[in-house]
Amino acid sequence: MKPRLLHLFILLVAVTFWSCNDQCKETRVTRRFTNVTRSVLELRTMLKTESPRSLERPGKMYIKGDYLFVNEVKEGIHIINNKDKSHPEFITFIRIPGNGDMAVRDNILYADSFTDLVAIDISDPKNPKEIERIKNVFKNGNFDGGIWTFNETTGAISDQNVDFVTETVTVNCEDGINPSSWWERGWLADRAFATAMSSASSASAPGSGGSNGQAGSMARFALHQNFLYTVTQTSLHLFNVATPSKPKDFATVNFGWGIETIFPYENKLFIGSATGMFIFDNSNPADPKQLSMFQHGRACDPVVVQDNIAYVTIRSGTACPGTQNQLDLVDVSDPSAPQLIKSYQMESPHGLSIDSPTLYLCEGAHGLKVFDVKDKFKIDKNLLAHFKDMDAYDVISLGKTLLLIGKDGFYQYDSSNPKDLRLLGKIPVGKAI
């Protein structure tokens, strides 16, 4: 055989062999954005109370007394009676366009509605009523990576609807790519999933006790003394809620970009961003002062704190362009000079909750991990349990009870024995009311 023909033959065999043996089919989920313009004047007419409805695209959760509040992303808030944890009951749905976060003080529910902060009286959970609205305080936001911005001159909101598109592609098997890796690389969006809980007539009102509720680690709203603190992508915003039914716009602290979560602890505010953790002295709640910033590589970043230790999860995905997936333990005993204790590699860490010595850490599609954190340098050696039958997004520990938001619904556990969580109840997404 002539040399040229031999070379062509070898090339043909090589291509045939590669196409027959080294090609794999892979399913990928990507986000696609559609630009939408919304009139803020029209949006302000759309807040209303509706009949209970099933969870469709649940977001963040908030617990107050016997009641659970679950955000339906960009649409509103479910009020769910959780007195009987095995038989939770949907009470009301409050339609709030552009809603992503919430907090409750006494009988007042605070919620964002795109650019506005609204205060809603929930003394009667079956008949919530808007009682106050502070307009034009939020200038931008982020839902599943879709950014919205507000133009004060035109009164228009430039929004993005996000669709998740599944496609099958051919890849080279030798690349060693597996479908689950696309979650860590950011092809799958960071989607919050939640749900929740019986007998409105027998339960106490949400505001009984005259105190605040509790949010998960993904929260952008936090209450402390006479103030409601909220974070947008660019700023920390303060509202005076000394009179809960009459919140007042108070002050704004600008950061830059990439602000994600807020966690108050004692007289400090810990703010997670795409580039690190900000620590603020909040001794004077009316005037928080930045003490320091603990930096990490660019990635999504919620944080919780207990006993001078900050637990920070860093993950790739969605709007976060980084590739790190890890848990950082940070010594914040000197808040002006936080020090890294140790980093632990994780798979896709999301929300977390600490009830020392137990740390509950959501791993997205990889489930929930439970660690004993007494030895800060050997956490990876003290994995108490790994529950893999869920897609865990965020978690709240209430001592003997654990609340968890997963892809397919809201889970509630008896956590008396962290090694063996006992399911008390679950409300799946799409469950008929």
Query: Scanning the structure block, which residue is given the tokens 């929300």?
Result: 351
Residues 262-271: tens digit of each pLDDT: 999 999 999 9
Question: 395 pLDDT exceeds 80?
Answer: yes
Instruction: Identify the pLDDT of residue 376.
Output: 96
Bridge-based pairing of strands 401-406 and 102-105 is unpaired
Question: pLDDT by residue (tens digit) across 179-218?
Answer: 333 333 333 333 333 333 333 333 455 644 458 999 999 9
Long-range contacts of 221-225 (CB under 8 A, 24+ apart): 221/101, 221/102, 221/103, 221/110, 221/112, 221/262, 222/103, 222/262, 222/263, 222/264, 222/269, 223/103, 223/105, 223/264, 224/264, 224/269, 224/282, 224/285, 225/285
Share of the chain above pLDDT 90, in %: 62
Quick check: helix, strand or coil at residue 238? strand
Does residue 222 contact residue 229 with C-beta atoms inside 8 Å? yes
Coil, helix or strand at residue 24? strand
Predicted local distance difference test score (pLDDT) of residue 38: 93
Are 67 and 123 contacting, i.e. CB atoms less than 8 angstroms apart?
no
For residue 133, pLDDT over 50 is answered with: yes
Q: Residue 326 forms beta bridges with which residues?
A: 314, 345
- Report for 4-8, 153-157, 191-195: range of highest mean pLDDT: 153-157
Distance CA(366)–CA(51), nearest Å, equals: 35
- Burial class of residue 255, CB neighbours in 10 A (0-12, 13-18, 19+): middle
Least confident of 114-123, 169-178, 195-204, 245-254: 195-204
pLDDT score, position 289: 95
Measured between alpha carbons, how far is residue 416 from residues 213, 370, 398, 419 in Å? 22, 13, 10, 9
pLDDT bucket at 319, cuts 50 / 70 / 90:
low
Question: In which band, very low, low, confident or very high, does the pLDDT at 431 lie, cut at 50, 70 and 90?
Answer: confident
pLDDT category of residue 316 using cuts at 50, 70 and 90: confident
Mean pLDDT score, 305-333 = 83
Q: What is residue 99's predicted lDDT score, i.e. its pLDDT?
A: 97
The pLDDT confidence band at residue 27, using thresholds 50, 70 and 90, is low
Given a contact cutoff of 8 angstroms between Cβ atoms, the answer to whether 63 and 173 are in contact is: no
Cα–Cα separations (whole angstroms), residue 87 to 53, 83, 128, 313: 16, 8, 23, 33
Provide the pLDDT for residue 233.
86
| Maximum mean pLDDT: which of 177-186, 288-297, 321-330 | 288-297
Question: Is residue 318 within 8 Å of residue 145, measured between CB atoms?
Answer: yes
Please give the structure tokens belonging to residue 145: 């990576």
pLDDT on residue 167: 72
Highest mean pLDDT range out of 16-20, 102-106, 255-259, 387-391?
Answer: 102-106
| pLDDT score recorded for residue 24 | 74
Specify the pLDDT at position 277: 92
Most confident of 75-89, 145-159, 191-205: 75-89
Q: How far apart are CA 25 and CA 32, in angstroms?
A: 21
Q: What is the pLDDT of residue 196?
A: 31
Segment 407-432 mean pLDDT? 90
Alpha carbon 281 to chain centroid, angstroms: 24
Q: Write down the pLDDT at residue 299.
A: 57
Lowest-pLDDT choice from 2-11, 77-86, 290-299, 364-373: 2-11
Residue among 156, 100, 94 at smallest CA distance from 129: 94
Mean pLDDT of 79-108: 95
CA 316 to chain centre: 14
How confident is the model at residue 432, as a pLDDT? 62
Of 159, 154, 81, 153, nearest in space to 113 by CA: 159
Average pLDDT value over all residues in the chain: 84
Mean pLDDT in residue range 207-234: 87
